[in-house]
Amino acid sequence: MTRSVFGHTLWERRRAMVGWTLGGVALAAFLVVFYPTLRDGAAEFQQLLEQLPSGMLDAMGIDPATFVTAKGYVEAELYNLLGPVLVIIYAVQLGGAAAAKEEHDGTADLVFTLPISRASVLVQKVAAGAVLLALLVATFLVVLLAGDPLYGMGLRVVGIVGINVALYSLGVFFGSLAFAAAAWSGRKGLGAGLAGVVAMLSFLLDGFAQIVDWLGWADRITPFDWYLRGDPLSNGAGPWQLFLIGLALVLVAAGTVVFESRDIGVARNLPRLRFGRRRGTASTSSSSWMLGHVWSWSVWIRRRSLRWWIVSMAAFTSLILSVYPSVRDLGGDQFGQLIEAYPTELLAVFGITDPASALEGPGLVSSRIHGSIGLVAVLVLGIGFGARAIAGEERAGTIDLVLTGPVRRGRFVIDKAIGLVATVTVVVAAGILAPMLVGAPLVDLGVTAEGMIAGNLGMILLVVLYGSLALAAGAWTGRPGIATGIATVAAVAGHLVNGFGAFVDWLAPARRWSPFYWYAGPKNPLSQELGWQQPLLAAVALLLVVVAVVGLQRRDVGV
Amino acid sequence: MPPAIVAEGLTKYYGDTPGIIDLDLQVERGEVFGFLGANGAGKTTTIRTLLDLLHPTAGRARILGMDSHRDAVAIHARIGHIPGDVTMYEEMTGRELCRYFANLRGIDTGPEVERLAERLDLDLDRRIGAYSSGNRQKVAIVQAFMHRPELLILDEPSTGLDPLMQQEFYAMVREARDEGRTVFLSSHILPEVERVADRVGVVRASRLVAVETVEGLKAKARRHIQIVFSHRVDPGTFAAVDGVLEAHPSHDGHGVDLVVEGSLEGVMRVASGFGVENVISHEGDLEDAFLALYNDHDA
């Protein structure tokens, strides 16, 4: 595998590749296995669907003729949200790394003084990323091709191939965007983050453009629209998916050209975001305070990206609140009936465990922010923080400097945990809670004060819990990649157990053990009560921090 | 045959911060050229600009007769490079890394890698992440020398090596020169450069302030020495000796502190009459050692 930059890039990622592939198989298989459950309760639901006004169905992306068919199921479960989320997260990581990992790792000066052009190095890295991404999408393809006859789904082979080609083209597009941004900046994190934000916003725009008049212009210009245009699950992939690939190629070419003219090792940055404070004067005293403790340092060192997190989350929250009136006015009773009759297994994956409440303000906002994309984003932040808190410093070698100072290991871990709490709290409070406090009365959202506290406090605690798990895994293994993997798998499992446990009898007992249940309760996070749930989340997080303390104290650092 | 390196007005700014300003320099084939300067003086910026890792703000450089930017790939095929800040793929072994880079160069360097590793006493079969920084530096040396390049561009190459290994490394540099190859090496340590280089360029505050032969440098460099005698000696005895700039009594009484420019011969001749117990030579910092050169330049 060391014959070329291409081979070396694959070799470097071999472990993560196995993890992603197993995850892809598990997810797709899980969904296929549940198909018969859905089909058995379908007839009644379909009748109801057909009575609904077509405009509303369009808005929800529902075709009554196919919705309760295997096609509708697979589309809703795998290809509307979960599949794109996974594929895009993987793709933006790969794209950012292709352009800037060597610089990040400090190996760029060796590679780019070899007799290979910069363009050739980059193109080989992009090609390796494209192969790795294809492997993930191929797991969905293979599982569906195998499951289709086994479970009598009756999908067309051309459709199964087509939808996966489309999903791949969506991933390639956002991966290339991350690549271009990272090639321009020399920062892989900036590339992945920027592409992630664009993906999130375009997903929302695509969803809302069909419902909300003043967003109508956005209907046909989002990558998410192009991804499913032409109905690839029925007709196979077509020109729009090709168009996405074409855009991706343009982005890769642009990134490569920009990289040619860049100074290697000299990073560019996005403009700094500053909140109401002038340069100089005040910042000196505040940063000296921030540098006074390990925990505040951990926040301080992320100050630039945190500002972007807050601004992005606030924009996201505001957008959702601003479309709420349109969604509410559209639906009325019929919408409510529909939601109630919605095959509950479908909703489970989205974390909607109480369909009746899904149309109320709290339920609707939860289904976008507290139980869906918004939560995913904050979880990514928290797990990333936790995984790097100890293992990341170990990898960078800075842990030796800190631990040989007058800092006890236990104190070091606890400080990192406090930093995690502070980071998550700041993002949730400023990015979600603050816009909600302003916006909720304006749009008459109907969230109670208790729900507001329970939802946002619960979100902080849930993310801190999984962040603490990553922290503990990092403290025991010293490897940020493994820590991220463990916490991510645990979070996905907790989420699925909570969702499916609401409807599947044999999973019901397990549901009560899922942190997602403690967080969201029987309805949704913003309708949750204050009670034993929040202390329980905090207690488990605290327990995990203790595990982390013990882990770091027992281990040889740097081995 | 064109010179190994020609820089003409080479300038690199990072925004408003200067890296190197208006560098004119010529390095001939077959010489060892030492590029000397304190930390932050502009050595690494110069090297990275010559290697096309940075794009010059103004001016240009020709390496082996080719344009450093336009012909970068062709140049890279004929040079070896040790970066100033060595980090490598931690998951690979030293052998795997050398094989990878050899593959990317499209050549087989197997036997040469073995020979070099043996010479530097380097175990190639351990993970780079598990190497000490000295061993990591050895891997960097091996990958720079393994294809026997015409020109070696080395940024503080002896960092982290123990004295024995430093000797071995200097021997490798001299052998490369004896085979007609060219070595451009940066350093902040005067004795190191004295030991291996034919000529020396001194860079301070982003500007090349002097280019000297090592002999010329030795003649001009100032050093601080302390001579300890068996009994008290008047420092005034040395004041008039050739090359002595300053002479003071040592703090501990039985010695004399001297600042000497150029050869120590005169000092030693006088000292030998007084029962010398010890001679301590302070390397001194670079600023001090090059005061003479800088003064020439400023004047």
* Residue of A4, A14, A110 to mutate, interface with B, max B Cβ within 10 Å: A110
Interface contact A113-B89, CB threshold 8 A? no
Q: How many Å apart are CA A248 and CA A389, to the nearest integer?
A: 34
> Do B234 and B259 belong together in one domain?
yes
Q: Considering chain B, what is the average pLDDT of its residues?
A: 88
The number of helix segments (H) and strand segments (E) in chain B equals 12, 14
pLDDT of B299 reads 38
Interface contact B53-A261, CB threshold 8 A? no
| Average pLDDT score over residue span A22-41 | 80
Does the CB of B89 have a partner CB in chain A at under 8 Å? yes
Q: Name the residue type at position A538.
A: A
Q: Which residue has the higher pLDDT, B109 or A427?
A: A427
Average the pLDDT over each of A63-72, A169-178, B275-284 and give the range with the smallest value: A63-72
pLDDT of B207 reads 94
> Do A511 and A389 belong together in one domain?
yes
Nearest residue on chain A to B73, alpha-carbon basis: A115
What CATH number does residue B23 fall under? 3.40.50.300
Instruction: Examine residue A233 and state whether it is found in any structural domain, yes or no.
Output: yes
Q: How many Å apart are CA A444 and CA A374, to the nearest integer?
A: 21
Interface contact B53-A264, CB threshold 8 A? yes
> Do B104 and B138 belong together in one domain?
yes
Q: Which residue has the higher pLDDT, A267 or A183?
A: A183
Q: Which of A12, A116, A263 minimises the CB distance to B104?
A: A116
pLDDT of A281 reads 46
Q: What is the pLDDT of residues B8-41, one digit of tens each?
A: 999 999 989 999 999 999 999 999 999 998 888 9
Read off the pLDDT band of B292 (50, 70, 90).
low
pLDDT of B265 reads 84
> Do B18 and B157 belong together in one domain?
yes
- Reply yes or no on whether the pLDDT at B4 is more than 90: yes
* Single residue among B160, B186, B217 that ends a domain in this structure: B217
Does the CB of A260 have a partner CB in chain B at under 8 Å? no
For residue B13, what are the β-bridge partners?
A: B18
Cβ atoms A361, A191 nearer than 8 A? no
Short-list A100, A107, A135, CA closest to A17: A135
* Residue of B17, B46, B64, B87 to mutate, interface with A, max A Cβ within 10 Å: B87
pLDDT of A54 reads 58
- Kindly report the three-state secondary structure assignment for every residue of B61-112: EEECCEECCCCHHHHHHCEEEECCCCCCCCCCEHHHHHHHHHHHHCCCCHHH
Does the CB of A397 have a partner CB in chain B at under 8 Å? no
* DSSP-derived pairing of the beta strands B199-204 and B32-36: parallel
**Structure tokens that stand for B137 in this block:** 């530096």
> Do A368 and A266 belong together in one domain?
no
> Do B165 and B53 belong together in one domain?
yes
| Average pLDDT score over residue span B127-150 | 92
> Do B78 and B185 belong together in one domain?
yes
* Single residue among B176, B202, B217 that ends a domain in this structure: B217
Does the CB of B16 have a partner CB in chain A at under 8 Å? no
Tell me the nearest-neighbour CA distance from B164 into chain A, angstroms: 26
* Residue B200 phi, psi dihedral angles, 5° rounding: -135, 135
DSSP string, A383-412: HHHHHHHTHHHHHHTHHHHHHTSS--HHHH
Highest mean pLDDT among A275-279, A328-332, B211-215, B218-222: B211-215
Interface contact B74-A115, CB threshold 8 A? yes
In chain A, pLDDT over 70 holds for what percent of residues? 83
| Average pLDDT score over residue span A248-272 | 89
* Residue of B44, B100, B137, B147 to mutate, interface with A, max A Cβ within 10 Å: B100
Q: Left (φ > 0), alpha (ψ -120 to 50) or beta: where does B262 sit?
A: left
* Residue A280 phi, psi dihedral angles, 5° rounding: 75, -135
Cβ atoms B256, B247 nearer than 8 A? yes
> Do B98 and B240 belong together in one domain?
no
> Do B272 and B161 belong together in one domain?
no
- Provide the number of structural domains found in chain A: 2
- Kindly report the three-state secondary structure assignment for every residue of A297-337: HHHHCCHHHHHHHHHHHHHHHHHHHHHHHHHHHHHHHHHHH
* DSSP-derived pairing of the beta strands B17-27 and B244-249: unpaired
Short-list B148, B126, B149, CA closest to B139: B126
Residues of B in contact with A400 (CB under 8 A): none
Does the CB of A39 have a partner CB in chain B at under 8 Å? no
Tell me the nearest-neighbour CA distance from A116 into chain B, angstroms: 6
Residues of B in contact with A12 (CB under 8 A): 89, 91
pLDDT of A41 reads 61
Q: How many Å is the Cα radius of gyration of chain B?
A: 22
Highest mean pLDDT among A74-83, A152-161, B141-150: B141-150
Q: What is the pLDDT of residues B262-272, one digit of tens each?
A: 778 888 888 88
Other residues' Cβ atoms within 10 Å of the Cβ of residue A401: 10
Residues of B in contact with A3 (CB under 8 A): 103
Q: How many Å apart are CA A398 and CA A372, to the nearest integer?
A: 36
Short-list B176, B190, B241, CA closest to B220: B190
> Do A97 and A229 belong together in one domain?
yes
| Average pLDDT score over residue span B187-207 | 89
Residues of B in contact with A114 (CB under 8 A): 76, 101, 104-105
What CATH number does residue B230 fall under? 3.30.70.100
- Reply yes or no on whether the pLDDT at A283 is more than 70: no
Q: What is the pLDDT of residues A116-132, one digit of tens each?
A: 999 999 999 999 999 99
Inter-chain Cβ pairs, chain A and chain B, closer than 8 A:
73
Q: How many Å apart are CA A190 and CA A180, to the nearest integer?
A: 10
Cβ atoms A63, A8 nearer than 8 A? no
* DSSP-derived pairing of the beta strands B58-63 and B5-14: antiparallel
> Do A264 and A382 belong together in one domain?
no
Interface contact B87-A263, CB threshold 8 A? no
Q: Which of A4, A107, A264 minimises the CB distance to B103?
A: A4
Average the pLDDT over each of A182-196, A383-397, B279-293 and give the range with the smallest value: B279-293
- Reply yes or no on whether the pLDDT at A356 is more than 70: no
Other residues' Cβ atoms within 10 Å of the Cβ of residue B298: 7
Interface contact A110-B101, CB threshold 8 A? yes
> Do B188 and B283 belong together in one domain?
no
Interface contact A105-B87, CB threshold 8 A? yes
Read off the pLDDT band of A64 (50, 70, 90).
low
- Provide the number of structural domains found in chain B: 2
> Do A152 and A211 belong together in one domain?
yes
> Do B192 and B234 belong together in one domain?
no
* Single residue among A232, A255, A270 that ends a domain in this structure: A270
Short-list A168, A167, A169, A140, CA closest to A155: A140
Alpha helices in chain B (DSSP H): 43-50, 72-77, 94-105, 110-119, 133-145, 163-178, 190-196, 214-220, 236-239, 265-271, 286-289, 291-298
* Single residue among B159, B185, B217 that ends a domain in this structure: B217
Does the CB of B154 have a partner CB in chain A at under 8 Å? no
Nearest residue on chain A to B99, alpha-carbon basis: A2
Q: Which of B53, B91, B103 minimises the CB distance to A12?
A: B91
Q: What angle do CA A272, A275, A279 make, to 5 degrees?
A: 65
Other residues' Cβ atoms within 10 Å of the Cβ of residue A21: 15
Does the CB of B175 have a partner CB in chain A at under 8 Å? no
SS3 A479: coil
| Average pLDDT score over residue span B149-161 | 93
Q: How many Å apart are CA A247 and CA A237, to the nearest integer?
A: 16
> Do A333 and A478 belong together in one domain?
yes
Interface contact B103-A264, CB threshold 8 A? no
| Average pLDDT score over residue span A124-144 | 96
Q: Which residue range is the domain that position B104 belongs to?
A: 5-217
> Do B208 and B255 belong together in one domain?
no
Tell me the nearest-neighbour CA distance from B88 into chain A, angstroms: 5
Interface contact A114-B14, CB threshold 8 A? no
Does the CB of B143 have a partner CB in chain A at under 8 Å? yes
> Do A499 and A391 belong together in one domain?
yes
Q: Which residue has the higher pLDDT, B65 or A231?
A: B65
Q: How many Å apart are CA A208 and CA A214, to the nearest integer?
A: 10
> Do B250 and B192 belong together in one domain?
no
- Residue A290: HSE in the Cβ half-sphere, 13 Å Cα cutoff: 16
Tell me the nearest-neighbour CA distance from A263 into chain B, angstroms: 4
> Do A180 and A45 belong together in one domain?
yes
Tell me the nearest-neighbour CA distance from A264 into chain B, angstroms: 5
ipTM over 0.85: no
> Do A337 and A253 belong together in one domain?
no
Q: What is the pLDDT of residues A412-429, one digit of tens each?
A: 999 999 999 999 999 999
> Do B32 and B141 belong together in one domain?
yes
Read off the pLDDT band of A340 (50, 70, 90).
low
- Reply yes or no on whether the pLDDT at B146 is more than 90: yes
> Do A524 and A382 belong together in one domain?
yes
SS3 B298: helix
Tell me the nearest-neighbour CA distance from B40 into chain A, angstroms: 16
Q: What is the pLDDT of residues A438-476, one digit of tens each?
A: 988 888 888 888 888 999 999 999 999 999 999 999 999
Interface contact A266-B14, CB threshold 8 A? yes
Read off the pLDDT band of A354 (50, 70, 90).
low
Widest Cα–Cα separation across chain A:
71
pLDDT of B25 reads 96
Q: Considering chain A, what is the average pLDDT of its residues?
A: 84
Q: How many Å apart are CA B247 and CA B237, to the nearest integer?
A: 9
Instruction: Examine residue A285 and state whether it is found in any structural domain, yes or no.
Output: no
- Reply yes or no on whether the pLDDT at A248 is more than 60: yes
Does the CB of B283 have a partner CB in chain A at under 8 Å? no
Q: How many Å apart are CA A468 and CA B16, to the nearest integer?
A: 43
* Residue of A109, A117, A118, A122 to mutate, interface with B, max B Cβ within 10 Å: A109
- Residue A504: HSE in the Cβ half-sphere, 13 Å Cα cutoff: 21
Instruction: Examine residue A289 and state whether it is found in any structural domain, yes or no.
Output: no
Distances (CA, A) of A242 to A142, A163, A203, A229, A246: 22, 12, 19, 11, 6
Q: Which residue range is the domain that position A22 belongs to?
A: 1-270
Q: How many Å apart are CA A66 and CA A59, to the nearest integer?
A: 15
